[in-house]
């Protein structure tokens, strides 16, 4: 089905069978091989690897904080274990979650049926950093801690751990994980095992990447243990390269469209309250490409471009302002 898919009115009754729509994949989902880090970010990653410290990233939404972990993992052939921070998370949640209620119920049922008491480890689910520390050990060493069905490759392996948007967590969260993050260990008291789970061999120490949208300050004690880098918004030249890498043929065959789109995009960034991010630009270009595909003309001014501004605007106040900016830009271009 060709764009536009949804119509204001239909010349005939709606179809009796579902219409096949195109499969959609958010353009913000960056393939690791198309990610383009700037020189400062490359240096920050290398320093973090050299010192064995977590890398803390800040920057505008859409500047590529989260995809860096996937790019690092892709380059080194490692798995990525992601922890999406929520406002109610506790420090323990970074390592494991224990379903106490389900375990208690299972114990009651087992006792009533005169069966063996269920093992607490089968009611554990290891989360990002906990799983990375588990995997950093040979299976035999951590066997007492593994729930039934836990998939371990047998030999120790290294992982990249992404703690996304750590600033969403309660203020105590970063301080509560200081020692565990620095020394790569954790304890599971529910198992009544005195030993802790730790990384014995530095070769398999998890590579830890944290992102923050700077919605609130992180504790100084935590920041001292991190390598820090703020990802700047790309320059026009770098943004053009990102577009070409991410959109491939769309960008290659639409150089005039790309130049005009970048001109308008930076005008909007200069004046809008909520500045559109790189991911917004890519989605916008993809939309424009679909609208112009198969036409004899490059553009249909001003209708086509004006109809797509909603892709770049994220609040009510900016909606009218974006139209004014567009009209001024169009006059100046003419």
Secondary structure, 3-state, the chain: CCCCCCCCCCCCCCCCCCCCCCCCCCCCCCCHHHCCCCHHHHHHHHHHHHHCCCEEEEECCCCCHHHHHHHHHHHHCCCEEEEECCCCCCHHHHCEEECHHHHHHHHHHHHHCCCCCCCHHHHEEECHHHHHHHHCCCHHHHHHHCCCCCCCCCCCCCCEEEEECHHHCCCHHHHHCHHHHHHCEECCHHHCCCCCEECCCHHHCCEEEEECCCCCCCCHHHHCCCEEEEECCCCHHHHHHHHHHHHCHHHHCCHHHHHHHHHHHHHHHHHCCCCCCHHHHHHHHHHHHHHHCCCCCCCCCCHHHHHCHHHCCCCHHHHHHHHHHHHHHHHHHC
pLDDT at 127: 97
pLDDT at 32: 86
CA separation, residue 18 to residues 21, 47, 215, 331 (Å): 9, 54, 43, 44
d(CA 170, CA 85): 10
Confidence of residue 1 (pLDDT cuts 50, 70, 90): low
What's the mean pLDDT in 215-223?
Answer: 90
Contact by Cβ (8 Å): 122, 150? no
- CATH class of the region 32-231: alpha beta
Beta bridge partners of 83: 163
Q: Which of 195-199, 235-239, 288-292, 319-323 has the highest mean pLDDT?
A: 195-199
d(CA 94, CA 108): 29
pLDDT at 14 over 80: no
d(CA 94, CA 128): 6
What's the mean pLDDT in 174-196?
Answer: 92
What's the mean pLDDT in 91-101?
Answer: 95
What's the mean pLDDT in 7-13?
Answer: 73
Backbone angles phi, psi at 196, to 5 degrees: -95, 160
Confidence of residue 25 (pLDDT cuts 50, 70, 90): low
**Each residue of 99-135: pLDDT tens digit?**
999 999 999 999 999 888 899 999 999 999 999 999 9
Contact by Cβ (8 Å): 284, 312? yes
pLDDT at 333: 74
d(CA 129, CA 147): 16
Beta bridge partners of 124: 98
pLDDT at 28: 45
pLDDT at 298 over 60: no
More confident residue, 44 or 29: 44
More confident residue, 38 or 306: 38
CA separation, residue 219 to residues 179, 224, 268, 304 (Å): 14, 9, 35, 48
pLDDT at 192 over 70: yes
pLDDT at 6: 75
pLDDT at 24 over 50: yes
pLDDT at 19 over 90: no
List the single range of 45-54, 59-68, 99-108, 140-149 with lowest mean pLDDT: 59-68
Contact by Cβ (8 Å): 240, 94? no
pLDDT at 216: 84
Tokens of 322: 């974006």
**Each residue of 228-278: pLDDT tens digit?**
999 999 888 888 888 877 777 565 555 667 788 888 899 999 999 888 988
pLDDT averaged over every residue in the chain: 87
């Amino acid at each position: 089905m060709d764009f536009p898919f949804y119509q204001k009115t239909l010349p005939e009754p709606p179809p009796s069978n579902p219409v096949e729509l195109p499969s959609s994949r958010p353009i913000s989902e960056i393939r690791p091989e198309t990610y383009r880090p700037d020189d400062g970010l490359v240096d920050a990653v290398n320093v973090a690897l050299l010192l064995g410290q977590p890398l803390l990233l800040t920057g505008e939404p859409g500047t590529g904080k989260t995809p860096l972990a996937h790019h690092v993992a892709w380059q080194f052939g490692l798995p990525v274990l992601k922890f999406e921070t929520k406002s109610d998370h506790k420090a323990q949640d970074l390592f494991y979650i224990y379903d106490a209620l389900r375990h208690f119920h299972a114990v009651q049922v087992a006792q009533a049926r005169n069966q063996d008491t269920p093992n607490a480890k089968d009611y554990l689910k290891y989360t990002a950093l906990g799983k990375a520390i588990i995997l950093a050990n040979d299976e035999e060493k951590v066997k007492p801690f593994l729930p039934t069905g836990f998939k371990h490759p047998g030999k120790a392996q290294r992982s990249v751990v992404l703690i996304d948007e750590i600033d969403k967590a309660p203020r105590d969260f970063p301080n509560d994980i200081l020692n565990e993050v620095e020394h790569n260990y954790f304890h599971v008291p529910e198992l009544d095992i005195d030993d802790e789970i730790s990384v014995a061999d530095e070769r398999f120490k998890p590579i830890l990447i944290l992102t923050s949208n700077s919605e609130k300050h992180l504790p100084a004690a935590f920041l001292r243990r991190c390598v820090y880098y703020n990802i700047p918004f790309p320059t026009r030249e770098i943004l053009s390269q990102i577009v070409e890498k991410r959109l491939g043929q769309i960008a290659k065959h639409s150089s005039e469209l790309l130049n005009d789109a970048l001109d308008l995009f930076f005008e909007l960034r200069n004046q809008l309250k909520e500045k559109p991010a790189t991911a917004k630009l890519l989605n916008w270009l993809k939309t424009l490409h679909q609208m112009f595909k198969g036409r004899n003309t490059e553009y249909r001014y001003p209708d086509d471009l004006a109809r797509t501004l909603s892709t770049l605007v994220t609040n009510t106040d900016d909606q009218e302002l974006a139209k004014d900016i567009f009209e001024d830009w169009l006059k100046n271009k003419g």
